[in-house]
Chains A and B, each alone.
Chain A
Amino acid sequence: MSNVILEVRELTTKWVTRFKEDICAVDHVSLKVEEGKSLGIAGESGCGKSTLALSLMGYYFPPLHYMSGEIIIAGRNISRMDPDDIRKSILGREIAYIPQSAMNALNPTQKIIHFIEDVVQAHDPYQTKKEIYELARSCFETLGLPAGVLQKYPVELSGGMKQRTVIAISVILFPKVLIADEPSSALDVTSQKMVIKMLKNLMENGFIESLIFITHELPLLYNVTDDIMVMYAGQIVEKGTAKEVVFDPLHPYAKGLMGSIIVPEQGQRDVKLTAIPGVPPNLKNPPTGCRFAERCKYVRPECTLHSIPLRDVGVGRAYRCILSEKELREAYAKEADKNAR
């Protein structure tokens, strides 16, 4: 039976700006990641995806502050742990993180192997250089990277290669959960595919037990992850399996995201792209009711009155909208009908 590796309950974190304003970029987010499963987080820029990724590690540094909620990783509650302890015993071993600009994360004056020595020795000072080299070599080879990369400087590697190197380094201590924050958004489609293949390999080869993948590209998420969670303005607006969210989205925002997908397949040329008008709300003082209300096509007066709870429908499926499942489906059907005519 699958057991839960990472569980987050009602996590809320905030950024504090220079002017002492609070910005709640992660607002009562709950999620569960089971062993061997991967979770995708989708949403547009500024919806709190990356803040959630940072918050999940439990390692808070100003201006990011913890407010409430629990993060339980492999049975340990890390939400109130001392930052130093987290850095020593959690990061890298339990949970690893690949930042958005991973290509700039390598020190240009050091060879890759020195970087790995640094990482490993920070957690286990008694390993010799030889052992570390062997570990790194076997790890790189399993992941399909040439061992020669270890003796190179970052400038000698191409963008895609750098990204894959960073991923390999981040899993060298066999973390349980890997958080990949837009690992492929700066790469071209060919390198992107290699990165994706590598991430899938990680799971298959037992380097990591679960993966959290953050991106705004829904086709990618659909191909990589088992479950998808859609975020909007710091809140989860929809979650479900990849297939459900992509082909049968319930929340109007998720529906809107689906409208912006472009794939080179027969018949896709005639599909009209539907962009969601407007911009996300400013989280400094978020709207009281539904946060998507002012951009929503199906908005009703009662939407803006009070906050909307996340509605559970079926196992692992939930959405945050005032309309019922049936009403939403009818509205979409009508819309599709209108477009067809």
Chain B
Amino acid sequence: MPDEKKLCLSTSGLTKVFGFGRQKTVAVDHVDIHFYEGEVASIVGESGSGKTTLAKMLLGLINPTEGEVYFQGRKRDISSQKKKKEYWKNIQAIFQDPYSSYNIFRNIDTVLLDCIHMRGGRHLPHAKKVEMMAEACGFVNLKFEELTKKYPFELSGGQMQRLMIARIFLLNPKILLADEPTSMIDACSRATILDMLMQLRKEVGMTVIFITHDIGLAYYVSDSVYIMERGKFVESGSADEVILHPKEAYTQRLISDVPKIYEEWDLSTV
């Protein structure tokens, strides 16, 4: 971690309310977060605790009902499409379901070329672009020669998710928001994906916001952990502090829900 912490993304009183009147659901309730540059922060909570809604607000995909998002200390402005695109150069996401993250009509070359173009590489010679794409694929242990002219649906789930990371590598955003990136792929590819996210952080200095329901993953990857329950943060702090010495009953429950191998797994608590 860098010595001096520079604020990268923060929010104040961020709230999202769905519906109104009697059917009002407060999905995210006055949340204040402070993500620093180069750190890996996890947001952990069970299904329906508002993790994804929060992520969508941070990405600017949905508008918050109340509250503000600050990017690098300044208020985020995404009032026009152009400004939104500018913002998305800084923040990118990997979603849960790799199968629905791609446009099935566009092959892998175009997916990766788009990223190069977005970074202002439209005028580069083609050979240079291919070299960049090959480098990005190499970063995630894929072979560009095998992928070229293929379509995303020809890949396995783990490969798709890795290609998503290759995109991120090309785009080189300030912040990567990973919304349950490993929940739909098997344990073996999961280790690879997590390793790559860590590498992105180490080599590029990216801030990674990791959203998950599995507190074990959060413990493994993150510097700081935020525990979310019903739209509110109930506990936050460094990973060791929160997970090894949880204070809230909710955090303790989340930890007890993960299957253990070295300790007894208590099934009676559900």
Contacts and interface: CB of A to CB of B under 8 A. Distances in A.
Interface of A: 44-46, 158-160, 185-194, 196-197, 200, 216-220, 222-223, 246, 256-257, 259-266, 268-269, 273-277, 279
Interface in B250-270: 253-255, 257-263, 265, 267, 270
Q: Which 3 pairs between the two chains have the least Cβ-Cβ distance?
A: A260-B191, A188-B213, A275-B191
Contacts of B240: 269
A194 B239 CA distance: 26
B192 interface: yes
Interface size bracket, B side: 35 or more
A188 B141 CA distance: 29
Contacts of B185: 45
B20 interface: no
A261 B254 CA distance: 18
Given A200-B267, A269-B219, A269-B220, A188 B188 contact: no
Contact of B187 (A191, A197, A223, A260): A260
Interface string B148-192: 000000001111000000000000000000000001111111111
B187 A189 contact: no
Contacts of B186: 44-45, 216
B270 A218 contact: no
9 contacts: A189-B46, A189-B215, A190-B270, A194-B270, A219-B258, A219-B260, A257-B187, A263-B259, A273-B194
Nearest to B180: A188
B227 to A, nearest CB: 13
A255 to B, nearest CB: 12
Contacts of A186: 183-184
Contacts of A160: 47
Given A45-B156, A46-B156, A190-B254, A261 B187 contact: yes
Given A188-B214, A262-B214, 6 more contacts: A45-B186, A189-B46, A216-B188, A262-B191, A269-B220, A273-B220
Nearest to B217: A262
Contacts of B213: 188-190
A222 B195 contact: no
A268 B219 contact: yes
A46 to B, nearest CB: 7
A84 B141 CA distance: 47
Interface in B204-226: 213-220
B244 interface: yes
A193 B257 contact: yes
A277 B257 contact: no
A59 B157 CA distance: 28
